């Protein structure tokens, strides 16, 4: 078996740079049940990246979602899906297997989840940690970011995986949640989602109060009040 490389291939570095994607990495997923390909083979790794949301729009939803946020949410998700398809095609052109993980697609409506958590790939790639609001928090963009994931069988320099939370004692997101769906626990690798978020309470509140925005898939209040996002806005405006 060939040695795992210590740097990313130049074509991938150039691909990311050309699209102005600055937050990205690779995740070792050999211990996780990834989606499978047509031959029912798992994927050992994934390329994970983040696309930032508009900071002013994110700041504007501290009291609830609005139309600009819903439009921004759709725009960034569509961009991620387009980039994922493009990257997957480039990977396969180079002789490797790949599979796209769609942005914000619920394939299990009972448990309110998709085929695989984007956040798992992102934390394993070292892009950030999970906040008390059950969202990824990154140093460059706070939690005001949406994630893309493409599963691959390439050998890539993965991680290092994030191994702790940097939320400290902050509970602003917990206090702001109108559904009382956040449990206030600090994340660590392996902590179940249910220990952080009552996903059904969150989902029900959004459908009852914000159905006009993507049929209740949008809220964002918890993310809007996160100090790491607010720091991003402050830096942008100074």
Output the tens digit of pLDDT for each of the chain's 238 residues. Answer: 356 678 999 999 999 999 999 999 999 999 999 999 989 999 999 999 999 999 999 999 999 999 999 999 999 999 999 999 999 999 999 999 999 999 977 666 666 677 899 999 999 999 999 999 999 999 999 999 999 999 999 999 999 999 999 999 999 999 999 999 999 999 999 999 999 999 999 999 999 999 999 989 999 999 999 999 999 888 877 6
Q: Which residues pair with 101 in a beta bridge?
A: 149
Q: In terms of pTM, does the model score above 0.85? A: yes
Q: What is the CA radius of gyration of the chain?
A: 18
Cα dihedral sign, 128-130-134-139: negative
Q: Report the pLDDT value the prediction gives residue 235, as an integer from 0 to 100.
A: 81
Instruction: Read off the tokens for 106.
Output: 């619920």
Instruction: Read off the tokens for 85.
Output: 């398809």
202 contacts 181 by C-beta, under 8 angstroms = yes
Return the domain boundaries, the chain.
10-237
Q: Report the pLDDT value the prediction gives residue 91, as an integer from 0 to 100.
A: 98
Q: How far is the C-alpha of 119 from the C-alpha of 122, rounded, in Å?
A: 5
Give the 3-state DSSP-derived string for the chain, with helices as H, strands as E and coil as C: CCCCCCCCCHHHHHHHHHCCCCCEEEEECCCCCCCCCCCCCCCCEEEEEEEECCHHHHHCCCCCCCHHHHHHHHHHHHHHHHHHHHHHHHHHHCCCCEEEECCCCCCECCCCECCCCHHHHHHHCCCCEECCCCCEEECCCECCEEEEEEEECCCCCCCCCCCCCCCCCCCHHHHHCCCCCECCCCCCCCCCHHHCECHHHHHHHHHHHCCCCHHHCCCCHHHHCCHHHHHHHHHHHC
Q: Report the pLDDT value the prediction gives residue 5, as an integer from 0 to 100.
A: 77
């Amino acid at each position: 078996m060939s040695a795992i490389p210590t740097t990313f291939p130049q074509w991938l570095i150039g691909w990311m740079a050309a699209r102005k994607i600055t937050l990205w990495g690779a995740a070792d997923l050999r211990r996780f049940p990834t989606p499978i390909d047509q031959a029912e083979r798992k994927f050992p790794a994934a390329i994970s990246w983040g696309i930032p949301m508009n900071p002013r729009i994110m700041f504007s939803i501290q009291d609830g979602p609005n139309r600009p946020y819903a439009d921004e949410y759709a725009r960034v998700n569509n961009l991620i899906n387009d980039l994922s398809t493009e990257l997957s095609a480039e990977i396969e052109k180079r002789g490797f297997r790949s599979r796209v993980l769609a942005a914000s697609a619920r394939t299990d409506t009972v448990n309110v989840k998709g085929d695989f958590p984007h956040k798992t790939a992102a934390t394993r790639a070292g892009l950030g940690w999970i906040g008390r609001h059950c969202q990824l928090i990154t140093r460059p963009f706070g939690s005001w970011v949406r994630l893309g994931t493409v599963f691959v069988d390439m050998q890539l320099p993965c991680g290092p995986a994030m191994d702790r939370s940097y939320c400290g004692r902050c509970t602003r997101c917990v206090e702001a949640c109108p559904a009382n769906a956040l449990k206030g626990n600090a994340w660590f690798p392996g902590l179940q989602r249910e220990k952080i978020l009552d996903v059904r309470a969150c989902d029900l509140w959004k459908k009852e109060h914000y159905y006009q925005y993507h049929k209740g898939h949008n809220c964002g209040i918890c993310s809007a009040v996160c100090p790491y996002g607010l720091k991003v806005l402050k830096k942008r405006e100074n």
